[in-house]
């Protein structure tokens, strides 16, 4: 091992070790602790509010986010601020800022959730195969994952996004997803390996249960909780990374699309005219990322056997 990502790996392995040993009771126990943790509650409230906003955005948004209502009033050095009908004012194109922020929630949700899901699925296939089969398959797959981990994550995302001539929403999703694949793979493999030696798996094996059944019925379900925790944390990173890609010009090239990262990136030129154009989208990104981080951290703490009472 070249020691690349030693701690990241150790951290993932430690998280993997929290996969439930006692079946339902630990999960129930963890949930009870979660409900009593104010950090978890704050995180959950933010996440739920964000989900509702994203799902209902077309109904909530007061105006059409794509129409340039006040384009005639925009001059160099002047972008209209709040007024009746435009509670947060308009952007540099004269579009209603509040509506764009609300619709942007859906965009961030799509990018965050799709990227995390794709990363999760591929990571689980790779990690699950490595953990279940073992031997040289395991060695080969994990070596490959280690190499992916050795490229700083944003640079990896950049190089993938840059392969596409015309970046769009999907190229961003793919780029951010690929970065999370090795993380999920490593994690699931770790917790599958931890499962291998447990009593219930050994018992199933002794009873002559088929290998596939053992993997899917006994090992996989018990390995899931750390993966769910990681997925929550990954969502936060995905939203921030997507914003960074937008800022670098690798986001969706559709100038109409309301997207927090792109709105924030575009605002740099107008910082002295109307800094609010930067504040609001940044605030949205920070709050949502923080919500997922708080929830994920609280879940990790709750699942940690060390905290079990």
Partner 1 sequence: MLRFVVRRLLWLIPTLLALSFLLFAWLRSLPGGPSSALLGDKATPERIAALDKTLGLDQPIPLQYLRFLGRIVTGDFGASLSSSQPVVSELSAAFPATIELSVAALIFAVGLGIPLGYLAARRRGGFFDNTTIIGTLVGVSVPVFFLGFMGQKIFASGLGWLPVSGRFTAGVDHTKITGFLTVDAVLTREWDVLGDSLWHLLLPALVLGTIPLAVIVRITRAAVLDVVNEDYVRTAEAKGLHARTVRGRHIMRNALLPVSTTIGLQTGLLLAGAVLTEKVFAWGGLGSLLAEGINRRDYPRLQALILVAAAVYVLVNLLVDISYAVIDPRVRVR
What would the x/- binding string for partner 1 be over residues 8 to 27, using CB under 8 A? x-------------------
Backbone dihedral angles phi then psi of residue 249, each to the nearest 5 degrees: 85, 15
In angstroms, what is the minimal distance from the CB of 11 to partner 1?
10
What is the rounded CA–CA span in Å between residue 232 and residue 226? 10
* Out of 79, 173, 236, 238, the residue judged to bind partner 1 by CB under 8 A: 236
Beta bridge partners, 86, equal 83
State in angstroms the smallest separation of the CB of 62 from partner 1.
26
- HSE, side-chain direction, 13 A CA sphere, residue 299: 22
User: Residue from 133, 268, 307, 308 that binds partner 1 (CB under 8 A)?
Assistant: 268
* Only segment of 29-37, 61-69, 208-216, 264-272 that touches partner 1 (CB under 8 A): 264-272
In the complex, what is the shortest distance from the CB of residue 69 to partner 1, in angstroms, rounded to a whole number?
26
**Token pair in block for residue 71:** 């384009």
> Which pair of tokens denotes residue 80?
């209209």
Q: Answer for the pair 97, 88: CB distance below 8 angstroms, yes or no.
A: yes
Site string for partner 1, 130-149 (x = CB under 8 A): -------------xx-xxx-
Measuring CA to CA, which residue among 135, 244, 271 is closest to residue 193?
A: 135
CA 30 to chain centroid, in Å, comes to 22
> Cα–Cα distance between 176 and 192 in angstroms, integer?
25
Instruction: Tell me which of 153, 169, 180, 222 binds partner 1, using CB under 8 A.
Output: 153
CB of 19 to partner 1, least distance (A): 21
Q: Closest distance between partner 1 and the C-beta of residue 291, in Å?
A: 9
Which segments of 150-219 does DSSP mark as H helices, in order?
153-161, 169-196, 199-206, 211-213
Q: Does 36 bind partner 1 (CB under 8 A)?
A: no
Q: Which residues bind partner 1 (CB under 8 A)?
A: 1-8, 143-144, 146-148, 150-155, 158-159, 162-165, 236, 240, 243-244, 247-250, 261, 264-265, 267-268, 271-272, 275, 278, 282, 285-286, 289-290, 293-294, 297
């Amino acid at each position: 091992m070249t020691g690349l990502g030693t701690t990241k790996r150790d951290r993932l392995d430690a998280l993997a070790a929290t996969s439930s040993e006692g079946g339902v009771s630990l999960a129930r126990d963890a949930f009870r602790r979660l409900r009593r943790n104010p950090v978890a509650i704050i995180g959950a409230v933010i996440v739920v509010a964000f989900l509702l906003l994203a799902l209902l955005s077309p109904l909530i948004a007061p105006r059409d986010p794509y129409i340039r209502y006040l384009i005639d009033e925009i001059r160099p050095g002047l972008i209209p601020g709040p007024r009746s009908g435009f509670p947060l004012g308009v952007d540099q194109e004269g579009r209603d800022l509040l509506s764009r922020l609300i619709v942007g929630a859906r965009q961030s949700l799509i990018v965050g959730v799709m990227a995390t899901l794709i990363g999760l699925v591929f990571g689980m296939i790779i990690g699950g195969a490595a953990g279940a089969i073992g031997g040289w398959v395991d060695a080969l797959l994990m070596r490959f994952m280690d190499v992916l981990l050795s490229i700083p994550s944003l640079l990896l995302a950049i190089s993938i996004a840059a392969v596409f001539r015309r970046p769009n929403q999907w190229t961003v999703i793919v780029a951010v997803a690929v970065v999370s694949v090795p993380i999920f793979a490593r994690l699931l493999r770790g917790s599958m390996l931890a499962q291998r030696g447990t009593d219930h798996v050994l018992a199933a094996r002794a009873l002559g249960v088929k290998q596939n059944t053992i993997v899917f019925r006994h090992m996989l379900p018990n390995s899931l909780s750390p993966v769910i925790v990681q997925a929550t944390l990954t969502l936060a990173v995905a939203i921030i990374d997507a914003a960074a890609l937008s800022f670098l010009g690798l986001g969706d090239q559709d100038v109409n699309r309301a997207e927090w990262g792109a709105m924030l990136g575009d605002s740099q030129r107008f910082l002295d005219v109307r800094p609010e154009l930067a504040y609001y989208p940044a605030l949205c990104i920070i709050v949502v990322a923080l919500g997922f981080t708080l929830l994920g951290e609280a879940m990790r703490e709750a699942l940690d056997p060390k905290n079990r009472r």
